[in-house]
Structure 1
Amino acid sequence: MEVITLKEVLEAVEGKLVIKGETEEYNSVSTDTRKIQKGDIFIALKGENFNGNKFTINAIESGASLCIVDEICFKSEDVLNKSYIVKVKDTGKALLDLARYYKNKLNIKVIAITGSTGKTSTKDLVAATLSNNFKVFKTEGNFNNEIGLPLMVFKLDKSYDIAVLEMGMNHFGEIHRMAEVANPDIAIITNIGISHIENLGSRENILKAKLEITDFFGKDNLLILNGDNDILSTYKNNDYKLYNISTIDKSNSSFFAENINLSEKDGSFDIFEQGENKYKDFKIPVPGKHNVLNSLLAIACGKYFGMSYDEMQNGMKNLKSTSMRLDIIKKESFTIINDCYNASPDSMKAAIDVMKNVDGKRKILVLGDMLELGKESFNAHKSIGEYARKNGVEVIIAIGKFSNAYKEGFISSEDKKYFKQCETREEAFKYIENILQKRDIILVKASRSMRLEKIVDKLKNINS
């Protein structure tokens, strides 16, 4: 982070200085007293189950030189002028306002990524593709909400050329507020599925919420869309530039992939630009057709920044993927596919597609619930059971309240399929251990809160 002054902070957050301190220049921001270092700005956030204002003294004792609060939960004599105290109406808004102010001080291009699935994989691929020509920052882990995104912005400095920032959401307005902070030059929407439909009511509303990423766009901005997605394929807008990528419709695509070849570890395809073959056998170091689409989104960014296809191919070699996303772990006698980070109907199907290309015999799914699907939940889980049955899966082991939905879709009278419903992760692991055969492929996937990575950890320790 570049230095920001007390004067700039007061201007950015429209705060009132209530106690004077000693240091008026800062180069780090924290919302967590456990991570504060000497000289930091501490912003005291509030949530349903916590109130950061109550930890102001802890922050000062840990070295904070400026605290931004919206409640005074301490005695003035306890501060003893060790830290400046700035009071605002809302510390959550202050965090966003300060991040917006700070970002505007930097001469850096921003690519913002949203979508129902594929945000993080696309972020990783975009950052790698551009890395041959630029110094690129990318969102760490899942810091993609109204707290995480500004904290990522504070990690930027003038040495970076491009920032690739991920934006997630649950409700209307969230992406709008993040886009106001990041002010992206390019936005990517990976797809529109049914994740968060419980809160937003329809896929059309999900699209509307995702399109908030363009709320601050002008004629020179670019929106890149996955044209294989049914809703995105028909989207039009003349207020800014628009690229479509596809593996289905060459005639209406800015970038198109043909001659796709997939293996259990990687893939390759030919790139068509505006219908003309521009590059043969572009290689990607990740499996799955969904990653062909994600790579095309990255390629579109590279072309916007004037890169050649050879430069993008070289950049792709620098790919560093986020953990627990389609991590293929080869044991001596069986294979684990760890995809425990999150789950939606689209990402479930994508993982099963990858599983088909993994060398092995029996295909086993260990599945938990997909969350925030509302009234679509039962049918969405049932559809995954059906998809698994049609794509060669022999065994499903399910945990969670929608296990019966998986079963209804998976079990068919004419097929010899095996379904096991388990109450706990421990029960599921023991069942796998009992049925495990040589050259089995075990895909473990569910929404993050199901914590199915604990099953993966136990599977890793099986002596094979």
Structure 2
Amino acid sequence: MEYITTNEIIDAIHGELVLQGEKTKHNNICIDTRIIKDEDVFIAIKGENFNANDYALEASKKGASICIIDDMKFKRSEFNKKTSVIKVEDTKKALLMLAKFYINKLNIKVVGITGSTGKTSTKDLVAAVLSAKFKVFKTLGNFNNEIGLPMMIFKLDKSYDVAVLEMGMSDFKEIHNLCEVANPDIAIITNIGMSHIENLKTRENILKAKMEITDFFSENGVLIVNSDNDLLQDITSKYKLIKTGIDAKADYNACNLNILENKIKFNIIDKGNLIETGIEVNIPGRHNILNSMLAVACARVMDMSYKEIAVGFKKLEVTSMRLNIIKGKRFTIINDCYNASPDSMLAAIDVLGNTRGTTKIAIFGTMRELGDSAYDAHKQVGEYAKSKNIDLLITLGEFNDAYKEGFNDIDKYRSFETYNQVVSFLDGIIKQGDVVLVKASRYMKFEGIVNELENLNFCENINNKEVIKK
């Protein structure tokens, strides 16, 4: 984090200095007293089940240079004499305002990424490609909301050329608020699916919410979209618009597709011209060709050559629990349990189909935030699994009946209530060379199933070459 003064912080968050401390150096921004360090700035965020204003005194005693609060819970005399206390109307808003001030101070190029699915994978791909020419920062994990994104911004410094920031949302105005802070120069929309349809009611409303990513564009802003997605094919923008895809008409198209077990290969048609440089990316799935093409377009906007782009893809570091292929002595695990939506379920089934194995097994849980469409969406995933000749479908959660109805093969379907039941069943039937896909929405924590499956044999993660020892 670059140096900022106490007065700059007060001005940025429109705060009131209620206690002047002795410290003038500020190392980092922190919202958790459990990890706070000496000379950190502590921002007391209120949540549904906690109020961090209760911990401001603890932060001071641990050496915080500043405590930013919106509720004074302690006497001034109780604070460490080295700590300044700043009071604001709302600490969540103060966090966003401070992040906005800080990123503007850096004068860094910002790429914002949103979409119903594929945000994190596309973020990883864009960061990898750009890293062939620039020093790139990318959002860690999926710190992509009104708390996580500003905390990522505070990890930036002037040594970076580009920040690639993931932006999530569940309702209107959320991406608007994130973009008011980050003010992206380039915006990418991966697709418009059914995630968060429970709140937004229609896919058209989801598109409107995602388009908020251009709300703070300058006249030089660039919007890049996947035109293979039906709702993004015909969109227009008053800003520069670039379309990518495989099948749809686009500025950049992928061709000569070669979808292998753990990698993808393709060529690029740039405005009608075939590019000789071939692209190879060490992640599976046709959907990741679409994600990769968004990265290609972003790199071209940043004046990168195709040779540089190809080198950049070699630098890919993927976020965990997203189509990680884990090879074991007995069977292979495809760990895609970070989150789930109808589109990402279908993509994962395609990857399972392309993975070499004797028996193809899918373990699926609940997809959340689908509202009235939930039953039909789970049923359609079951139907797709059947159409792709999945040999065994195992489900847990509240939509077992929907999966069962869609899959419509009682001999090849099982449902269970606990992780242990699933693992015990598989341990009894799994054979040498089988493949198991594990996927559900985040709240189901299906990594617990993956961990137990890994315990059944020695596994090697072929996506990032890490060996998992049990």
TM-score, structure 1 as length reference? 0.97
Is the contact made by 2:277 and 2:306 (CA closer than 8 Å) also made in structure 1? no
2-structure distance, mates of 1:101, 1:92: 15
Deviation of 1:427 after TM superposition, in Å, equals: 1.1
The answer to whether structure 1 residue 326 and structure 2 residue 323 are counterparts is: yes
Is the contact made by 1:269 and 1:280 (CA closer than 8 Å) also made in structure 2? no
Is the contact made by 1:334 and 1:440 (CA closer than 8 Å) also made in structure 2? yes
Letter in 2 for 1:341: Y
Match of 1:172 in 2: 172
RMSD (Å) for aligned C-alpha atoms: 1.0
Match of 2:464 in 1: none
Match of 1:399 in 2: 396
Match of 1:248 in 2: 247
Q: Which of 281, 296, 299 is the aligned partner of 1:299?
A: 296
Letter in 1 for 2:332: T
Q: How many residues align?
A: 458
Tell me, what secondary structure is at the counterpart of 1:257?
strand
Match of 1:136 in 2: 136
Match of 1:356 in 2: 353
2-structure distance, mates of 1:121, 1:307: 20
Tell me, what secondary structure is at the counterpart of 1:311?
helix
1:370-389 correspondence runs (5 A): 370-389=367-386
TM-score, structure 2 as length reference? 0.96
Tell me, what secondary structure is at the counterpart of 1:234?
coil
Deviation of 1:82 after TM superposition, in Å, equals: 2.6
Tell me, what secondary structure is at the counterpart of 1:67?
strand
2-structure distance, mates of 1:82, 1:52: 20
2-structure distance, mates of 1:399, 1:137: 37
1-structure distance, mates of 2:78, 2:25: 22
Deviation of 1:80 after TM superposition, in Å, equals: 4.4
**Cα-to-partner distance string for 1:13-34 (whole Å, 9 max, x where unaligned):** 0000001101123131011111
Deviation of 1:75 after TM superposition, in Å, equals: 1.6
Is the contact made by 1:65 and 1:83 (CA closer than 8 Å) also made in structure 2? yes
Match of 2:158 in 1: 158
**Cα-to-partner distance string for 1:71-123 (whole Å, 9 max, x where unaligned):** 00112211142310000000000000000001110121000000000000000
The answer to whether structure 1 residue 451 and structure 2 residue 445 are counterparts is: yes
The answer to whether structure 1 residue 229 and structure 2 residue 229 are counterparts is: yes
Is the contact made by 1:253 and 1:275 (CA closer than 8 Å) also made in structure 2? no
2-structure distance, mates of 1:49, 1:291: 38
Structure 1 residue runs of 4 or more that deviate by more than 6 Å after TM superposition: none
**Cα-to-partner distance string for 1:333-387 (whole Å, 9 max, x where unaligned):** 2111000100001111111111111111211011100001100100000000000
1-structure distance, mates of 2:169, 2:62: 32
2-structure distance, mates of 1:246, 1:27: 44
The answer to whether structure 1 residue 346 and structure 2 residue 338 are counterparts is: no
Is the contact made by 2:277 and 2:307 (CA closer than 8 Å) also made in structure 1? no
Letter in 2 for 1:147: I
In structure 2, the gaps of 5 or more residues are 459-470
Match of 2:467 in 1: none
2-structure distance, mates of 1:287, 1:173: 34
**Cα-to-partner distance string for 1:288-308 (whole Å, 9 max, x where unaligned):** 011101110000011001110
The answer to whether structure 1 residue 463 and structure 2 residue 457 are counterparts is: yes
2-structure distance, mates of 1:80, 1:399: 51
2-structure distance, mates of 1:117, 1:175: 15
Deviation of 1:392 after TM superposition, in Å, equals: 1.3
Match of 1:51 in 2: 51
In structure 1, the gaps of 5 or more residues are none
1:181-192 correspondence runs (5 A): 181-192=181-192
Deviation of 1:280 after TM superposition, in Å, equals: 4.4
Over the matched positions of the two proteins, sequence identity in percent amounts to: 54
The answer to whether structure 1 residue 272 and structure 2 residue 266 are counterparts is: no
Is the contact made by 2:60 and 2:80 (CA closer than 8 Å) also made in structure 1? no
**Cα-to-partner distance string for 1:232-291 (whole Å, 9 max, x where unaligned):** 111111x21100001002xx3011001100111101111001121123431111110111
The answer to whether structure 1 residue 365 and structure 2 residue 362 are counterparts is: yes
2-structure distance, mates of 1:279, 1:11: 53
Tell me, what secondary structure is at the counterpart of 1:291?
helix
Is the contact made by 1:110 and 1:163 (CA closer than 8 Å) also made in structure 2? yes
Match of 2:203 in 1: 203
Match of 2:279 in 1: 282
2-structure distance, mates of 1:254, 1:363: 37
Deviation of 1:463 after TM superposition, in Å, equals: 3.5
**Cα-to-partner distance string for 1:306-349 (whole Å, 9 max, x where unaligned):** 11011111111111100011010111221110001000011111
